[in-house]
Structure 1
Amino acid sequence: SSPTLLKVLMFGNVCFTFVALLFVLLNREKFETLAHNLDYLNELSMALIDSLLVSTMVVKGGDGDTQPQERFCKIFASPVIAAATMIPVAISATQLLIFNGFGINARGHVLGEDPAHVLEFAFGGVGATINFWFCLDSKFLADQ
Structure 2
Amino acid sequence: MKKCPVCGLNVEDREAFCPRCSADLSHVPPMPPQAAPPYPLASPPVPPYIPRPQPERKPFSWGDVATFLGFCSSIVGYFGASVLFFPLGILASVLGFKGDRARGLAVAGIVIATLGLLLKLMVVLRQAEFLPGWFTSGVW
Calculate the TM-score normalised by the size of structure 1.
0.32
Structure with greater proportional helix content: 1
Calculate the TM-score normalised by the size of structure 2.
0.33
Quick check: which has more Rg, 1 or 2?
2
Q: Which has the higher contact order (CA 8 A, sep 6+)?
A: 1
